[in-house]
């Protein structure tokens, strides 16, 4: 079963949109509450700053994966066989 190219592209972009929205938020609050507030016991401002840095790094990694996927996707179509 072959998906239509437009549907496959939509699913890929939609997947990355969800990941780009959810992962930075989850990494911010996860790093803040577990690592910086819990384990390291930093002040409120310090934990916010370090969590923001973690969020930016996570976002750049996700965007890097998206760009890699966009450039490595084979967009060439096989020519139709004509008799």
Confidence of residue 77 (pLDDT cuts 50, 70, 90): low
Residue 71 lies in a domain: yes
Q: What is the pLDDT of residue 6?
A: 84
Residue at 81 is within a domain:
no
Q: What is the pTM of this model?
A: 0.75
Structural domain contains residue 43: no
Distance (Å, rounded) from C-alpha 22 to C-alpha 16? 10
User: Is residue 4 very low, low, confident or very high in pLDDT (cuts 50, 70, 90)?
Assistant: confident
Domain range for residue 22?
4-36+48-76
Longest CA pairwise span in the chain (Å):
74
> pLDDT, tens digit, for every residue of 7-51?
888 898 999 999 999 999 999 999 999 999 999 989 999 999 999
Number of domains in the chain: 1
Establish if 41 belongs to a structural domain. Answer: no
CB under 8 Å, gap of 24 or more: what pairs does 23-26 form? 23/58, 23/59, 23/62, 24/55, 24/58, 24/59, 24/62, 25/55
């Amino acid at each position: 079963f072959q998906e239509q190219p437009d549907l496959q592209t939509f699913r890929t972009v939609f997947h990355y949109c969800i990941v780009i929205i959810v992962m930075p938020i989850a990494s911010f609050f996860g790093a803040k509450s577990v690592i910086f507030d819990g384990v390291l016991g930093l002040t409120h401002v310090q934990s916010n700053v370090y969590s923001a840095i973690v969020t930016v790094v996570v976002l750049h990694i996700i965007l890097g994966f998206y760009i890699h996927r966009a450039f490595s996707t084979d967009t060439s179509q096989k020519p139709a066989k004509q008799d």
